[in-house]
Each structure stands twice: as structure tokens, then as C-alpha cells.
Amino acid sequence: MLEKIGKSLMNIKLLRKIFNWGRAWSLWSVHLETGCCGPEDMARACARFDTERFGTLPFPTLRECDLIFVTGFVTKKMAKRLKLAYEQMPEPKYVIAIGHCSISGGLWWDSYSVVQGVDEILPVDVYVPGCPPRPEAWIQGIRMLQEKIAKEGLKK
Amino acid sequence: MSIMKLSMGPQHPITGHFRFILDVDGDLVLKLEPDIGYTHRGIEKLAEKRTYLQNLPLIERVNSYCDSVGTMLGYLEAIEELMGLEVPERAKYLRVIAAELNRIASHLYAACLFSVATGLETMLMWPINDRELILDLLEKLTGQRITYTYPTIGGVRFDMSEGFKEEALKRLDYLEKRTEDYYKMLLWNHTFQIRAKNVGILKPSDAIRLGIVGPNLRASGVKADVRKDEPYEVYDRFDFSIPTGKNGDSYDRLEVRFKEVEQSINILRQAIKDIPKGPIKKWAPPIVPKGEVYTRVEAARGEFGYYIVADGTMKPYRLKMSPPSFRNLIALPYLCRNVPLADVPVIYISLDLIPMDVDR
């Protein structure tokens, strides 16, 4: 019953907009580093680039996060953990693939232990190319995801 | 009480790409077993498929985290020794400048991770902000922020840009002043000292027996630095000292890193002053003559060894690396015996391990 009321409320355009606005500006990211874009993750979260301006705060607890940055290559051993982490997160959840390695395998295109593109295991929302991408590119990725969330349809 | 198995990581703010399997009795850690291999890419195997020049970006990403120049130098030293190639003087100086800047950036990164492990959030922001200044300099020199592929076979890829010297000296002056602030804010801070002093003591005899390298070895009081023992590039021309610690605890390991930053600033000033004019690159043939070679360099985390077997073609027959983090990893299970659970992150971070370096 409550779910039905909730769904019908979400169909009201204004309410939906407010909801999307709230989601877009509080994207807390999981602290799970998979590859070597890790230091740029730190750089973008810290003093100079400070993505907390856009509401993206690295947070240790999975259960309160909405966003995964797949930082760089994903090995087959890490892929299981990454999927586990993704499944533990509450809905709605978003994925940003950072770097060439997580987009298509990149430099490790012929490696026996690297997953060729993280979209084989997770649904990716935004791709940010680079090896590693500059923090400005990360910020652009976050902004693109925010725009995507703001347009999110009435169905979900 | 019964012994419980506890799994920590890889989704954990401190552990990075590792998983630790801990045997805990209440709050006491009896045994720690690191589970490595989360970032294994098979670089040594991939290197056999590619030419010597194509291997450069591959090798760099062994430790692209912070210290890519230091990592690459060993590989280049090995190839140049096989070829019998003499690198131009200016290129050697430029390599030293890039490597030392990288060492400073790496040690500052270690400092900010350490302060996260001890819960000092301000000191997370300060070193990483100063690291940005160093990265700006490196960007001016090489055109990239953290993965440069700057040194290449026979020299370096770019020359110093105009105004680099003045900018570098200005920023080094600032950083030297800033290290005093770090001492006041972090190292002499009572809260920090409680967390880091007398935690994870590594005796000199144990450090040598376990084969620990780099700042971790020097923190135990052993004076060993490849830059002094077996000078490569032009390190024998600079006047600098090797800082050592007294007790070999986590505190000393961080203090040694800060002292090394001071020495790196010292080296950089001399290198920028003395740099000669001339060409920056020498043409190198794509084929490396038959032979085997082992070289070692001092990367930011310690001694980095390369063993190359060349069979007279464009590709290496075998490339074996001995990275510093892999050697230092063995200290972690050794030190994490009968310690409180809260000390495990401090010991882990103080060793400054890089999972990518361990797994390759």
C-alpha cells in the first residue's frame, strides 16, 4: 500500500524533480580502489579539486553510498569483490568507469587476468577516459552523471 | 576466549587493494595473513610480448601510483648497460630532477595516508595540497600529472621548459618551510605520537634478516641507500646524507620519510644549479644485444631490482622485477603479532606498501 502511494507521488513532476535534485547532489562514493587511478581519486576528493562541492564524498560504509568509481583496471579476482560491493549498495546506484583500463582493458588488452571493460560485469553510467584522467575530468564525469540523474524518467 | 577469523578489505578505507585475514582473540590480533593478487596484471609475462620501447608505459604502471620515474630508471639502466649506451649529461640530470620530485610527491602521499590511518583529517588535506604543487612542476616538465613515461631509452623525452628553474626553486623554498609545519602539526603532535610511537618495532637485525628495503630499513637504523652505495645516473656528484631512525617503530618510518624529503630538496637544488647544456637524447637501436643484466635503483619505497635476459631480438626474453613493496610486505605479518586491532592500519600504512607493486 505504502509503496503504491509512494509510486503515485513520484509520478508528480515537481516532486520527482525535487527527488532527482536531492539524489544528484549527494552522490557519496564507495571507497573501493580497483586499479591505479587511486591517487587521482584522493586528489579529486582533497583540498584543491574538492568534489565535495558537488556532493561527492568518499565514504567508508557501503550501505550509505550511491556511487562507485571503478578506478582503473579490474582484475578477475577483484571483479568478484566489485560485484559483491555493488550488490550490497542500496538503490538507486550509479557507476562511473574511470580510465581506459576500465572502459576497454586499455593497456592490458592482452592480459590474462584483467577484465576487458568493466561493463562486462556492472552497468556503467558514465565513462571518463584517460590514463589516469585528470581530476577536472572526474569532475566533468560527476557533472554528467548529475545531468543524467536530473533527467531520470518517471518509471524508476 | 575463542579465536575468530576476521576478513578485512578490499573494500576498506585503509587496506586499499589488499585483504587481510586476521586471527583475533577479542581485540588482540594473533596472526595476520595478507591475501594478495587483487591487482595482478601479469606485467612480467606481457613484457615478453612487447618491444623494449613498448614496455616503457607497462613498466611505469607497476608503480604508477606515485613513483613512476624511480620505477622506470632501473629498467632503462639495465637496457642501457646491455647496449653500452652512454646517456647525455643533461638527460641524466633531468632524470634525477624528475625522480627526486617524484620521491617528494610519493613521501607526501605516504604522510597523508598515515594521517588518515591515525584519524588526523587536517593532515590529509595539507600534504596532498603540497603534493599538487610538486605535481604541477612535474606537469610543467613532462606534460602529465602522475604517469609521465618521461625517461626513455637513451635520454629523456622533453627538455626543461622556460621558467622551470625559477618556479622549481620557489616551490622548493616553500616546501622546505612547510616541512617545519608538518613537524609541528603531525610528528610532534601528542595524539599522533601516542598512536605511532612504539607501534610495530622492527629491530635492525630482523629488518636485515627479512630483507626489508628502503626507508623502512633506514628507519630501523641501517644505513643503506643505493644512491650512495652504488651510485647510478649522477647521484655521486651530489652532497646529501642518508637519514636513519633510532627505534624502527611506525613513528620513525614516517620521520625518515620527512627527512628524506629535505634531502631530496637538497639534491634538487644542486641538480638545478649544476645542470649542463647539451642534447637530451641519444639515438638508440631497437635491438638489444644478447646478454643478461641485473640493475638496482633506489625508488621512493626502496630498492627496485630488474633482471633482464635479452636474446638479441627486439623483445626481452625474460624480465624479472623485484619491487620494494613486495619485499617490505613480509614485515607486515611479522609485525602484526599480538597487537591490538587498531594498530594494524597504522603498521600497514607506516610500511607504505603499494598493492600494484606487490602483485605486478
Where do the H-state alpha helices sit in B18-121? 43-49, 55-60, 68-83, 89-117
Q: Residue B64: what pLDDT? A: 66
Number of domains into which chain B is organized? 1
Asked if B58 has any chain A CB less than 8 Å from its own CB, the reply is yes
Mean pLDDT for all residues in chain B: 86
Eight-class DSSP state of A52: G
- Domain residues for the domain of B260 are 42-327
Q: Residue A120: what pLDDT? A: 86
pLDDT band at A12 (very low <50, low <70, confident <90, very high): confident
Strand partners, B21: B7, B33
Reading the block at residue A83, the C-alpha cell is 560485484
State the average pLDDT over residues B156-164. 86
Residue B357 is assigned to a structural domain of this protein: no
- Distance in angstroms (rounded) separating the CA atoms of residues B51 and B49: 7
Identify the CATH number of the domain in which residue B181 sits. 1.10.645.10
Residue B295 is assigned to a structural domain of this protein: yes
Asked if A112 has any chain B CB less than 8 Å from its own CB, the reply is yes
Chain A hits for B57, CB-CB cut-off 8 Å, are 107
Q: Which residue has the cell 610511537?
A: B197
Least confident of A69-78, B73-82, B113-122: B113-122
Count of other CB atoms within 10 angstroms of residue B342: 14
- Distance in angstroms (rounded) separating the CA atoms of residues A119 and B271: 47
pLDDT of residue A155 exceeding 70, the answer is no
Chain A nearest-CA residue for B37: A77
pLDDT in tens, B233-274: 888 888 888 888 888 888 888 889 889 998 999 999 998 888
Backbone angles phi, psi at B171, to 5 degrees: -70, -30
Chain A nearest-CA residue for B144: A134
Chain B nearest-CA residue for A88: B11
Q: Residue B163: what pLDDT? A: 85
Q: What percent of chain A has pLDDT over 90?
A: 1
pLDDT in tens, A74-132: 888 888 888 888 888 888 889 998 888 888 888 888 888 888 888 888 889 899 988 88
Residue B244 is assigned to a structural domain of this protein: yes
State the average pLDDT over residues B35-53. 87
Task: Answer for the pair A49, A139: CB distance below 8 angstroms, yes or no.
Answer: yes
Subunit contact B13:A31, Cβ cutoff 8 A: yes
Residue B154 is assigned to a structural domain of this protein: yes
Task: Answer for the pair B97, B69: CB distance below 8 angstroms, yes or no.
Answer: no
Residue B344 is assigned to a structural domain of this protein: no
List, in order, residues 6 or more apart from B112 with CB less than 8 Å away. A42, A46, B123, B124, B125, B126, B127, B128, B131
Measuring CA to CA, which residue among B70, B92, B88 is closest to residue B295? B70
Q: Residue A23: what pLDDT? A: 84
For each of the domains in chain A, give its residue range(s) and CATH number, in order of start. 27-150 (3.40.50.12280)
pLDDT in tens, B277-307: 888 888 888 888 888 999 988 888 888 889 9
pLDDT of residue A156 exceeding 80, the answer is no
Strand partners, B339: B29
Give the minimum alpha-carbon distance from B39 to chain A in angstroms, rounded to a whole number: 6
pLDDT band at B15 (very low <50, low <70, confident <90, very high): low
pLDDT of residue B225 exceeding 60, the answer is yes
Residue B276 is assigned to a structural domain of this protein: yes
Q: Residue A63: what pLDDT? A: 86
Residue B166 is assigned to a structural domain of this protein: yes
pLDDT of residue A48 exceeding 70, the answer is yes
Burial (CB count <10 Å: 0-12, 13-18, 19+), residue A116: middle
pLDDT band at A154 (very low <50, low <70, confident <90, very high): low
Residue B24 is assigned to a structural domain of this protein: no
Least confident of A32-46, B20-34, B172-186: A32-46
Asked if A62 has any chain B CB less than 8 Å from its own CB, the reply is yes
- Smallest Cβ–Cβ distance between B41 and the set A60, A111, A131 belongs to A111
> First vs last Cα of chain B: how many Å apart?
40
Q: Residue B13: what pLDDT? A: 66
Subunit contact A77:B129, Cβ cutoff 8 A: no
Measuring CA to CA, which residue among B182, B190, B125, B194 is closest to residue B342? B194
Asked if B291 has any chain A CB less than 8 Å from its own CB, the reply is no
Subunit contact A77:B145, Cβ cutoff 8 A: no
pLDDT of residue B324 exceeding 70, the answer is yes
